[in-house]
Amino acid sequence: MLGVLANRTYRHLFLAQIIALVGTGLATVALGLLAYDIAGPNAGSVLGTALAIKMVAYVGIAPVVGAFANRLPRRAFLVAMDLIRAAVAVSLPFVTEIWQIYILIFVLQSASAAFTPTFQATIPDVLPDEKDYTRALSLSRLAYDMESLVSPMLAAALLTVITFHGLFAGTVVGFLFSAALVVSVRLPQSRATEQRGSIYAKTFRGISIYLRTPRLRGLLALNLAAAAASSMVIVNTVVYVQSKLQRPSTDVPFALAAFGGGSMLVALLLPRLLDQRPDRPAMLTGASIMAAGLLAGAAVATVGGAYEWPAFLLTWFGIGVGYSMTQTPGGRLLKRSAASPDRPAVFAAQFSLSHACWLVTYPLAGQLGARIGMAPTFGVLAAVTVLGLLIAWRAWPASDQDELAHEHPDEPHLKAHLEEGHRTGTRSHRHAFTIDEFHPKWPDDQ
């Protein structure tokens, strides 16, 4: 897997990703302490609102940026977003009012919503080989999991020698280092083409391509399944450990580490698996494992007993395994489903639509956990996961192929295009199929 780091451009981008993630993790811890410093007992409400603002920014901003990102110099754009995030982090220690937190969080997360899908869409052009790209996806998954484990520990260590305001300085340094690493490499520019139509059509072009592609409709359903399972972990771990199990707060990281450990294990093993098997069976299996893990969690919460804590950790580990197996290959589907000029818009669509799923499942997990208890909440989220799995199984054909034979209308402007790929008839040919101006609709017989 580490062989892809021999590519200097990717190595610098990967390091930029890790450093920015650690900086973001430090900011998350510092923001919680800042909210408590300002709002006291109402800090939970402040953080809940900040999380909602984050998701609204992700869902609303990403498609707008994706519509025009392929027309902008990638390196300058990514550096600008890092600098905006650094500027917000510099401002946060000086906040004295709750409304100021909300405004700065919206700006920070809007910059992240612009940075992340553009960054993700750049990697396939840096690593065009499918095997290399698969390994890069696994490394990216490992980076996210490591951040969830390392950032809280690093923050705890730093807080022994500095105040929480100092954590924001770490965030600033992270974003500045990320910008410096991006500046240090030359990035391939996507082959930009001027898209016809209104601003509305350009803004939603990525989502339109996404929803007209069967495998991506399946991916969206699997995003829902993954959001349901991960929301149970992210939202209710602390409640389950401290309220239901009556264990100390120091045990919460162990539970989150069990989830992250399962995810990391699969990220290490997945590249070799995907070298031999297609994406669809692996991702559907991952969703099935998540559903089984949630049902197991319902049983553990109902039965209880002396072994509830180790059973709970094993459940979280299993859900982490399924989550990584479902999420990691998603970038391969996006790469296969969009031509280079449309890739930023399609990655932005994935970013926006997947976070729309979390926008639904986060409050669902929180409200159900508080109102009906842990065991029924496990059951409801397992049902949502199974629903996503079934929709994906139905929407994503088992016979999914990259190259499809298809016909075109007998129109003069299509004659040159018909010479591309393998000609199969007067008005038909076969090639790697993506939704674009020549192919507005997926072939009906596929």
What is the domain-level CATH number for residue 64?
Answer: 1.20.1250.20
H-type alpha helices, 40-160 = 43-68, 74-91, 98-126, 130-158
Closest C-alpha to 286, from 269, 304, 308, 302: 269
Starting at the edge strand found earlier in the chain, the sheet holding 403-407 runs 403-407, 428-432, 422-423
- Evaluate whether residue 307 is within a structural domain: yes
Verify that 224 and 183 share a domain, yes or no: no
- Evaluate whether residue 182 is within a structural domain: yes
- Evaluate whether residue 405 is within a structural domain: no
- Evaluate whether residue 404 is within a structural domain: no
Hey, what are 124's tokens?
């396939």
Determine if the pTM surpasses 0.85.
no
Closest C-alpha to 38, from 94, 116, 119: 94
Verify that 266 and 138 share a domain, yes or no: no
Rg (CA), the chain: 22
Verify that 282 and 352 share a domain, yes or no: yes
Verify that 307 and 210 share a domain, yes or no: yes
Verify that 301 and 236 share a domain, yes or no: yes
- Evaluate whether residue 418 is within a structural domain: no
Verify that 28 and 155 share a domain, yes or no: yes
At 314, is the secondary structure helix, strand, or coil? helix
Verify that 259 and 335 share a domain, yes or no: yes
Number of other residues whose CB lies within 10 A of the CB of residue 72 = 18
Verify that 268 and 138 share a domain, yes or no: no
Measured CA angle at 390 (ends 278, 208), to 5 deg: 75
8 Å CB contact between 387 and 224 = yes
- Evaluate whether residue 195 is within a structural domain: no
Closest C-alpha to 32, from 150, 147, 156: 156
pLDDT tens for the chain, 446 residues long, are: 577 888 999 999 989 888 888 887 787 677 767 777 787 766 656 766 777 788 888 888 877 776 666 677 888 889 999 999 999 989 988 888 888 888 988 888 888 888 888 888 788 888 888 788 888 887 887 777 676 667 666 776 777 787 778 888 888 998 999 999 999 988 876 655 555 555 556 567 888 899 999 999 999 999 999 999 998 988 888 888 888 888 887 787 788 888 888 988 888 888 888 887 889 999 999 999 999 999 999 999 999 888 999 999 999 999 999 999 999 888 889 888 888 778 878 888 888 898 899 888 888 888 888 888 899 999 999 999 999 999 999 999 998 887 788 888 877 777 777 777 777 777 888 888 888 778 888 887 65
Hey, what are 256's tokens?
């989150």
8 Å CB contact between 436 and 342 = yes
Helix %, strand %, coil % of the chain (to 5): 80, 5, 20
- Evaluate whether residue 408 is within a structural domain: no
Verify that 118 and 165 share a domain, yes or no: yes
Domain span including residue 181: 1-190
Number of domains in the chain: 2
Verify that 169 and 145 share a domain, yes or no: yes
- Evaluate whether residue 421 is within a structural domain: no
8 Å CB contact between 233 and 319 = yes
Verify that 32 and 96 share a domain, yes or no: yes
What's the CA gap between 361 and 301, in Å, rounded? 20
Look at residues 373, 396, 419 and tell me which one is the last residue of a structural domain: 396
Look at residues 165, 190, 215 and tell me which one is the last residue of a structural domain: 190
Look at residues 190, 212, 247 and tell me which one is the last residue of a structural domain: 190
8 Å CB contact between 285 and 325 = yes
Verify that 150 and 40 share a domain, yes or no: yes
